[in-house]
Amino acid sequence: MNSRLALFLSVAFHPLIITTYLFGILFFVSPDLIGVRVLESSALGSLLLLLFINTFVAPAVVVYYMQRFGLISSLHIDKLSQRRLPYLATILIYAAATFFFGWYFQPIANLAPQIGFLLGSVTLSLVVVALVSLYWKISAHATGMGGALGILGALFVRFHEQALLPYLLICIILTGFLLGARLQLNAHTPRQILAGLASGLIIGASTIYHFF
pLDDT digits (tens, 9 = 90+) for 76-135: 676 777 788 899 999 999 999 999 999 988 888 899 999 999 999 999 999 999 999 988
Residue 15 has pLDDT above 90, yes or no: yes
Element (H, E) at 180: helix 165-184
Q: Determine contact, residues 178/121, Cβ cutoff 8 Å.
A: no
Residue 174 has pLDDT above 80, yes or no: yes
d(CA 96, CA 80): 25
d(CA 52, CA 45): 10
Number of domains in the chain: 1
In 3D space, the residue among 168, 170, 173, 178 whose CA is nearest the CA of residue 139 turns out to be: 178
d(CA 203, CA 201): 6
pLDDT mean over 15-36: 95
d(CA 1, CA 9): 11
pLDDT of residue 74: 72
Tell me the pLDDT band of 72, cut-offs 50, 70 and 90.
confident
80-96 exposure pattern, b = at least 16 Cβ within 10 A, e = fewer: eebbeebbebbbebbbe
pLDDT of residue 70: 80
Average pLDDT of the chain, as a whole number:
93
What does the pLDDT look like over 122-166, one tens digit per residue? 999 999 999 999 889 999 999 999 999 999 999 999 999 999 999
pLDDT of residue 157: 96
pLDDT of residue 91: 96
- Tell me the chain's radius of gyration from C-alpha atoms: 17
In 3D space, the residue among 191, 187, 190 whose CA is nearest the CA of residue 3 turns out to be: 187
Residues sharing a CB contact under 8 Å with residue 82, sequence separation 6 or more, in sequence order = 71, 72, 73
What does the pLDDT look like over 189-205, one tens digit per residue? 999 999 999 999 999 99
Q: Which domain holds residue 118?
A: 3-211
